[in-house]
Amino acid sequence: MSKLLDSFWRAVMYCIHPRVIALSVLPLVIMVVISLGLGYFYWDAALAAVRSGLESYELLNTMVRWLEGLGLGNLRVVLAPVLLLSLAIPVIVIVALLFVALLMTPAMVALVAERRFPLMERKKGGSLIASLFWSLSSTVLAAIALIISIPLWLIPPLILILPPLIWGWLTYRVMSYDALVDHASAGERREIFRRHRASLLGIGVLSGYLGAAPSLIWASGAMFVAAAPVLVPVAIWIYTLVFAFSSLWFAHYCLAALDQLRKENNALAPDPLAQDAIETIADELLPQNPPGPAPRFGAPGSFS
C-alpha cells in the first residue's frame, strides 16, 4: 500500500510539470481533429442510420410514446443523438488511450527515470512493434469484453463495476508494458507482472474510475447536443490528462518495482571480489604438496 500511495502522489505532482502539460497537447489536437472531422462528414448519415434502427423496434417505440405521454416531449428527437454519442464514447476512450500510450508514455517514463533513477540500466526487453502489438491485442480483447458485457449494464450494480474493471484491465496491460519495455528485460517484466499483478490491476481499475469523470461532460453533451463541438474537445482533454496521470502512476510504480527487484537480485548474487578473496585465503591455508614421483605399489600380497 505504501508503494501505491507513494507512486500516486508522485504522479499527481508530475502532472503539473511543464513537460507533461506540453505533451498532453499533441494527443488532444490529433483527437479533436479526428473527432470533429468525422462528425462534420458523417454525423448526419450516422444519425439517420441510428434513427432508422430505432424506428424498427416496435417495443422501443411503444416505450417512447408512453414516456412522451407522461410529458417528456421531443424524446424521440433527443434519443438518437444521445445514443450516437454513447456509442462514440468507448471508441474515443480507446483511441485516446492508444495515442497516450504511443505518444506520451515513452516520454513520461523517460522523465521519471531521468529524475528518480538516472543510473538505472536500460535492458530494452521489448520494441516499438512489440509494444504496438501488445496494445492492439489488449484493446481488441477489451472491446470484445465490453460488447459482451453490454446487456449486463442494465443491472444497476454491474454498470458501476464492469466498465471500470474492463478499462482498468486494459490500462494495466497497456501502461505496465510501456512503463517497463525500455528498462526491463523480458524476464524482469514477467517477474514484476507476477509479483505485482494485483497492485497493477488496482491502479488500472482506479484509473478506470477516474476515467469516468469525463462522463459528466458527455452527459451535458447528451442534453445539449448543439454544444457537442465545444464539449467534445473538453472531454477529450480530460481523458488525455487522466490517461497521462495513469501513465505517470504506472511509470513510478513499475520503475520502483524494477529497482527493488534488481537490488534483491544483486544481494543474492555472489560478490566476485569477495569470492576471489575467499579463494585466495583458501589457497594460502591449504597445504601445498610439492610434486614428486608417483608412488609405486608392490606385487599383490607384498609390502613395499
- pLDDT over 60 (residue 75): no
76-126: pLDDT as tens digits: 556 667 777 767 777 776 777 677 777 788 888 999 999 999 999 988 887
In this prediction, residue 251 carries a pLDDT of 93
Highest mean pLDDT among 9-23, 51-65, 219-233: 9-23
Of 287 and 150, which is predicted with more confidence?
A: 150
In this prediction, residue 304 carries a pLDDT of 41
- pLDDT over 60 (residue 193): yes
Average pLDDT, integer, range 18-29: 80
Under a CB-based contact definition with an 8 Å cutoff, are residues 143 and 109 in contact? Answer: no
Average pLDDT, integer, range 277-286: 59
Domain ranges of the chain: 2-27+89-265
Q: What is the largest CA-CA distance in the chain?
A: 124
Residue 303: pLDDT band by 50, 70, 90 thresholds? very low
Cell of 32: 479533436
pTM, two decimal places: 0.68
In this prediction, residue 20 carries a pLDDT of 85
Of 158 and 202, which is predicted with more confidence?
A: 202
